[in-house]
Amino acid sequence: MAAARPREIVHENTDALVRAIAEKIWALPQSVTSRPVNIALAGGSTPKCLYEELAKPPKPVDWSRFEFFFGDERSVPPEHPDSNFGMARDALLAKTGAKAHRMAAEKGEAEAYAKLLGERIGEKRGGLPVFDLVLLGVGNDGHTASLFPGTAALDEAAKTVVMNDVPQLETRRMTLTYPALNAAARVWFLITGEGKREIIARCRAGLDDESAKRTYPMLGVRPAQGELVWWLDKAASGKAK
Ligand code: 6PG
């Protein structure tokens, strides 16, 4: 079966983009009614503005209807400036009191996080936990989460969470794997700014090349049955002004 092709949604600027995404996230409990909405948050710098937007809804949000997880984490404690959890805590989680589960990457506890996912996410597909939504970014080398080119995690075909040595950064990270990402009901990439235009153009060109995900790992995120959206601002999309 052909891999899922992304739907590209382009907005004029980053503010309009994050507002559109936030409105869809605030509305998710309308379609996930029997339990909290399970969302895996992206790290890096791009999503911070989305999390800040999410934290100021136009009308009250019942944050008990959401449960947050992470797509990846650096091997640092939460108070470290590089912590993805720390960024999301300051931008969103501390403002909403929403339930969230940190990846203890600095302790290497990947198996414990995989166990947590199995326990907290009731919906399964082929034994894999089904996130209602996974938010992801993309690096200029085409990595996503902590699935970097040439790293071992790209070959993980069974586990949902692994520690991944990233020699290009001289570090080890915890990351969701392709099995976990591709089981999701929705995968949304948030890609903004002129600096991402080149990598997005390269990734578009590689969409039909099965081997391209080795070079640009974000291309390996092709949910089997879920929705795949690349949310872009015009600057990143390369669309005519
Ligand atoms: C991380 C992220 C990573 C990120 C990209 C893009 O831990 O760094 O999970 O995959 O999405 O590196 O980062 P920026 O948003 O900072 O460009």
Residue 122 to residue 118: CA distance in whole angstroms: 7
Domain contains 241: no
Q: For the chain, what is the domain count?
A: 1
DSSP per-residue letters across 188-230: EEEE-SGGGHHHHHHHHHTTT-TTHHHHSGGGG---SSSEEEE
**Residue having the nearest C-alpha atom to atom 5 of ligand 1:** 139
**Residue having the nearest C-alpha atom to atom 11 of ligand 1:** 137
Domain contains 236: no
Question: Ligand 1 atom closest to Cα of 143?
Answer: 10
Residue 23: CATH number of its domain: 3.40.50.1360
Tell whether the model's pLDDT for residue 40 goes beyond 60: yes
Domain contains 237: no
What is the domain range of residue 52?
A: 7-126+142-211+218-229
Q: How many Å lie between the centroid of ligand 1 and the Cα of residue 34?
A: 32
- Rounded to an integer, the average pLDDT of 139-160 is 98
Ligand 1, pocket-test mutation among 45, 169, 178, most atoms within 8 A of CB: 45
Predicted local confidence at residue 241, as pLDDT: 57
* Number of residues that make up the chain: 241
Residue 193 to residue 144: CA distance in whole angstroms: 16
Domain contains 62: yes
Predicted local confidence at residue 146, as pLDDT: 98
Domain contains 238: no
Tell whether the model's pLDDT for residue 153 goes beyond 70: yes
How far does CA 129 lie from the centroid of its chain?
15
pTM above 0.85, yes or no: yes
Q: Determine contact, residues 184/131, Cβ cutoff 8 Å.
A: yes
Q: How many Å lie between the centroid of ligand 1 and the Cα of residue 143?
A: 8
Ligand 1 shell residues, CB under 6 Å:
42-46, 71-72, 84, 137-139, 143-146
Q: What is the pLDDT of residues 166-198, one digit of tens each?
A: 999 999 999 999 999 999 999 999 999 999 999
Domain contains 234: no
Tell whether the model's pLDDT for residue 3 goes beyond 90: no
pLDDT band at 4 (very low <50, low <70, confident <90, very high): confident
Which residue type sits at 163?
Answer: M
Q: How many Å lie between the centroid of ligand 1 and the Cα of residue 46?
A: 7
Residue 102 to residue 83: CA distance in whole angstroms: 10
Domain contains 39: yes
Domain contains 98: yes
Q: How many Å lie between the centroid of ligand 1 and the Cα of residue 39?
A: 17
The strand pairing partners of 173, in sequence order, are 74, 164
Q: What is the mean pLDDT of the chain?
A: 97
- Rounded to an integer, the average pLDDT of 197-212 is 97
DSSP per-residue letters across 64-110: GGEEEEESEEESS-TTSTT-HHHHHIIIIIHHH--EE----GGGT-H
